[in-house]
Every structure is written in structure tokens, then in C-alpha cells.
Structure 1
């Protein structure tokens, strides 16, 4: 279960610098909550999730205007500061909801134009969803239990069983204008809801004050985790456990195969060799011993928030023919790219088609990247993905968003 780490005394000390400035105090309250959320890997990982707070500040003429501070892209909740939460004039952002259509490039320009400080970081891609909600304090996470719930085949029925009408259910849309409008429409049908589940995506919780919004995020997450545990079916196991394999037999050959992919993709024999971050634990070993492992490997990533770091599918190394497995992965990824890129007249650029995550029965799971940080991020997200996959599959089924919508 996720712990509520809010400490009134620690917060009072943290917010002392705000003095009597209500807007600064509210911002510090949300920064404090954001750091608590960001510090828990079962809530968010590596820049995932976002938070916001709405305050009143004087404009250039001294009149009060509503301002929303929201996490800036590229900032990590665990260490966020005021500089990482750019302020947006709320009125022009909320006015965007009246449009029938808004292209991503137009949204970027509109959000930039609404910034009180144009030199600040670009606001989160989910800024519209935050803005369209009325609550002062809004938190968004990709908690392990919540993304497992969001990927169940009968997710809405389960949400109603757990929460009744206290949470709204939002169909899948890619982050941006359509998701923001859809979420606001769901909220408007019942303004008494205390949060939103975004199917195949994640979770929003909100309230009138920071401690309550944070507590709702924690309590709702724990209610889902408890339900998943209570409804878990026996995990299907292989008749015989995967035979242990040696890192010396696997990792050098895997690294060499991935290095060859990089050299071929870049056209340079001097392309840097990838780094591999291997993870091993009893939980990982148990997952890799599942009888349905190959099927799960082909289902896709638990939340679209992870795909840029992990790609949609892992490389499943269930044999010693590493080179053939890597080439098969590249062929599948290239097919996926070409089929989906064909829908975009302006074209898309194929990234390195090699895998970012490997599942290696008998050894562990691995994150791969061009440097140690990229490899560690991929490995961390891969660990969360297998936990979410196992939770969902054992409690009803793991069915994430399809690859066409994920590509978008």
C-alpha cells in the first residue's frame, strides 16, 4: 500500500517563506505535495505525472487574475521547485474548450501565449485537463495499481464497484486538447466526483486544499490495490521453471547485437555501444516464470506515458539465438512504424528500431539505452510495467491501448 506521507509540521516549515502571501503559500503547498508524490515510485517514475494549483495574482495593471501553476515538461515531481511550475493565465486557457478542434501545434502556441513568464518551461501536455477542472489543487499519477485498473477489460464496472459514483471514467484519448475536453465533459456530468480514471492511462484526484487532494490520490490508489489483491486469481506457471542462465552467456552478445543495430541505424561504425541495466528479484523471477509470458509480451505497454522510454513491446529472449531475436524485433517494430506512419501525410521519423527493454527468463529484465541514465529509466519503468501487467492479468485481464492509438 502507498503511504500518506503528509507531515503538518514539515509542511509548515517548508511554507514559512510564503509569509502572508496566499498565492505563494498555495504554490508551496502543491510543491510539497508534488515532491511527496514524486518520491514514491509506485505513484510516478522519472518525470511522469503532473500537478497544478490555481491562485490569484496581480496582473501588470494591478488587477487580480486567475493563474494556474502546472508542472513544466521535463521536470521531475520528486525535486520540483517553483521554477518548474510555470504560471498560465487561466482565462485564455479555459477559453480553448470552446473550440471544436485544436491541433497540437496550435495548443503549444496557445499555452506559450498564456504564460506569465515566457522564459519558463513549457507547460505539461495535460495542462488543458488541469485548467478545465475547477478545483484549486489537482494531482495526476500513473500509480501501478491505477494503471492496472485502467487496463482491465471491464474497468468501468470495477471502478463503480470500488468507488460508486465518487470517480468519473474517461475514455482513452491521447493527451492534449481532446483528452482535456473529454475529461471536463465527464466531470460536468457529475461535479461531485473526487477524481477521474483515464482508461488505459492513469488517475486524477483533486480537492479544495493540498492535503485533501494528496490524501485522495493516496486513498483512491490504495482502494484499487486492495481490490486487485482480493480478486487475484492463481498465476499460471510454466510446468518447469526457466533454467538459470549466466550474464556472461547473454549480456555481451545482447550488447553486441544492439550495438550493431545502432551502427546500422546511424550509418556510423563509431556509434556508442548501448548500456544494459539488469534487474533481478524474486518478483521478477516469478513474473518470467509465467505460462502466459509470451502473450503478455505482445500486449503492449501499461500506459502511453512510458512508451517513449520503453517502446511498446519488450524483447523476449526465451532462447539463446540472441541475434535472430533482435532482428525479429526490429522487423516487427519497423512494420509497426511503417503501418502507422502511413497515416501521416507529413511523414514521421523512424527512431532506432532496437528494443529498450528485454525480458530474459532465467536471468531477469533489462533496460537498454545510449547511456546509464536512459538504461536505468527503461529498467525502472519495465519493473513497474510487469507489476501492473501481473496485477491486471491476474484480476481479470491486461488489455492496454492498441498500438495504432499509442502511435498517435
Structure 2
């Protein structure tokens, strides 16, 4: 099959930061009994034929005839093994974890993305009600663990939708995750995305204020000294202060809309939550660098991982890489957009813990870093 159309639409969205950041998102095309789906670890921005896996749709359909273990780790291992067995002969790449979900949606082309504007709705307190009002023909999926469980819920909800309406939804909105759009052609997919994004843009009451601000050099230097003492001097720290953050990092209450994870991508790339360091580290007779290092050590001891984003009250946000900062900036955008739909709603603690320990996401990190 000629994959040029799938490659073109994948790159079109993959190169637009309003739709995709880093390795997020995945795409597919169906041709009779075969589905080509993005392989895990490939970025949409520069994907080519080698970035897709051929999978058997009949074999994928037979997964629903199986009963899997109740234990989540055993279930995920078993589902992964069955998914790998659904690859066509000669395929060696690992398919996207959402391959099973792609196979369920009966459109030729599927494009799954995580635009901040869309997640302003999917990550909002009034997200479901707002989505139903704005997009009455879309299917809303509540927050559930990704992978097999998500595909199972979508399968059940699509059956109900079809029974009620006699049709299948072209747009599926996933709470605290993103959006799936299907179409018979790339043009249909693009038209649907344009309609969703333009309607959301008309209903946003406030845009994030991302105008750059200059943090205090002396304080930044002291913080970086402490961070380098813990992470190492070669760590490429990114430092950010903008108009939005000037307000958000003034105190811990103001910081709440940025204090946790909105989606799985945020957990993977910028951590399940930032480390907050109060401005008491700048008091007289306090060794600021030592206090920063001690705060990071305490975070790692409590949570078992190092923070990827560190917020210093009244100073700036520090990230261990540009990638981590890109996703934290996305958090800033999503938080601002949620204000139009009832305010922020983070992922639940159990979903956050699932993502943190999920083998699939550990694999994705290993092949994209």
C-alpha cells in the first residue's frame, strides 16, 4: 500500500506545536484486513514508511474474545504479547499502545493528537458538559487507564452510541488525554480538526500570557548552583519566566493550576508533578544552593524519582531539559484554557501512578530520549 497520504498528514500535524509536542500522537490507515499504525518511539514530525507497523485487523479483533488477568501488570503483559502477535509477518517494530483503539474506529484514516486547546476541555472540571454542548456528535470517554482498558471502554461506548444514533462518531474526546479523529480521507480528518479547533478558539475566554520576563540573575545563579550539585554540571537546565508564571508562582495557592499532571504525556516528559521550593531559601544566613539541593533530594527520597521540573517561588521555573520545559509550557497553556470550562482537573492519583509504573511508557521514554 502507498503510505504517502498517511505520512503527509502525520508530518503535517507532527510539525505543528499547536497539535503535537515531541513524540506525542499517533496515526493509522486501514486497507482491507491490514492496518498500518505508528510504531512506538517514532515522532510524527519526520516519520516515513519505517515508522509504521503492519497489523492484522482480524487478529486484533480476536483479542476481544479473550479473558485477561485481573491483575493490571499481568493483564498488560498479556495484552502486549497478543498485540505483538497481531503484527504481520516480517514486522519487528513495536506498535503504538493505542493500536487496538485505532483498529476499533471504523474509518480509513485515524489521527490521534493532544492539542493544548482540546485538552483545555478534556482536562477541565466542566469538560464533559462543555464538550457535549460544543460537539454534540462527538463521543466523550471518561478518565480510565490507557491501553487495553481505554480501548475496552471506547469499544463499549461506541456500541451504545451506534445503537442510539445509528452512526459511529468521527470525533472521540478522551478525558485528560486528547482526541481521536477519523475520516475516509486525510481531507475529512483535516476538516474535522479544523472545525473542532476553530469552535474551541471562539469559546476560549482567556489566552495564556506567554510574554517572556527576565528572572533575577543572582537568584537564578544560586538555584542553578544547587541543581547542578545534585543533577550534575552537564545537565542542560532550561529556565522559564513569563507573564503567566509571574502570577502563578507568587505563592503555592496561585500555583495550584500547574501543580500536577493533566495527561500521560505530561507525566512522561515533565514528570507527574513539579517540585515547589518556597522563597525562604533566599533568607539571610540560608545557603540557597544547599537548600535547593536538599529539596531535590527530599523529593527523590519521597517519590522514588527525581523531579523534572522545579519551581522556585517568585523566581522562575527550572527544567532538566528543553523537552521537559516544552511539556511544562503545554501545562501552562492547558491550565489557562481550562478556565473557560470550569477550571483545571488533573488526572486522578491512581491513573498517575499507573502511568508512572507502566512498562509501555517506560519503553516509550527509552526509545525517544
TM range (shorter): 0.7 to 0.9
CA distance in 2, matches of 1:118, 1:407: 35
- CA drift of 1:106 comes to 1.7
Structure 1 residue 192 displacement after superposition: 3.6
CA distance in 2, matches of 1:222, 1:331: 45
Q: Contact 1:287–1:386 at 8 Å: present in 2 too? A: no
Greater shift in the superposed pair: 301-310 or 101-110: 101-110
Could you tell me whether the CA contact under 8 Å between 1:233 and 1:395 is conserved in 2? Answer: no
Contact 2:248–2:255 under 8 Å retained in 1? no
Aligned to 1:17: none
Shift of 1:291: 7.6
Give the distance between the partners of 1:207 and 1:40, measured in 2 at CA. Answer: 20
**What is the rounded CA distance, in whole Å, between the counterparts of 2:88 and 2:35 in structure 1?**
10
Hey, what's the Cα distance between the residues in 1 that align with 2:50 and 2:301? 40
TM-superposed deviation, 1:329: 5.3
Question: Which residues of 2 match residues 211-360 of structure 1 at below 5 A?
Answer: 211-227=187-203, 229-230=204-205, 232=206, 244=216, 246=218, 247-259=220-232, 273-285=234-246, 287-289=248-250, 292-298=253-259, 300-319=260-279, 320=281, 321=288, 323-324=290-291, 327-328=294-295, 330-332=297-299, 334-335=301-302, 337=303, 350=304, 353-360=305-312
Kindly state the Cα deviation for residue 328 of structure 1 after the two structures are TM-superposed. 4.3
Equivalent of 2:330 in 379, 384, 393: 384
Change over 3 Å in CA distance of 1:34–1:234 after alignment to 2? closer
Instruction: Note if contact 2:277-2:295 (Cα within 8 Å) is conserved in structure 1.
Output: no
Provide the rounded CA distance (Å) in 1 between the counterparts of 2:155 and 2:295: 43
Cα distance in 1, alignment partners of residues 208 and 52 from structure 2? 44
CA distance in 2, matches of 1:257, 1:110: 42
**For residue 114 of structure 2, what is the aligned residue in structure 1?**
142
Q: CA deviation at 1:333?
A: 5.5
TM-score normalized by the length of structure 1: 0.74
**2:285 matched to which residue of 1?**
none
Query: Is 2:81 aligned against 1:109?
Result: yes
Instruction: Find the counterpart in structure 1 of residue 172 from structure 2.
Output: 196
Residues in 2 aligned to 1:113 and 1:35: alpha-carbon distance in whole angstroms: 28
1:58-137 map, 5 Å: 66-101=33-68, 103-137=75-109
Q: Give the aligned partner of residue 156 of structure 2.
A: 185
Distance in 1 between the 2:172 and 2:121 partners? 12
| Residues 197, 203 of structure 1: 8 Å contact kept | yes
8 Å contact 1:86–1:117 — kept in the other structure? no
Q: Report the secondary structure of 2:237's partner residue.
A: strand
- Secondary structure, in 3 states, of the residue corresponding to 1:86? strand
CA deviation after TM superposition for structure 1 residue 361, in Å: 4.7
What value does the CA root-mean-square deviation take over the aligned residues? 2.7
| 4+ runs deviating over 6 angstroms | none
Aligned counterpart, 2:365: none
- Look up the match of 1:176: 147
Post-superposition offset of 1:123:
0.3
Structure 1: where are the runs of 5+ without partners? Answer: 1-22, 57-65, 236-240, 260-271, 338-349, 369-374
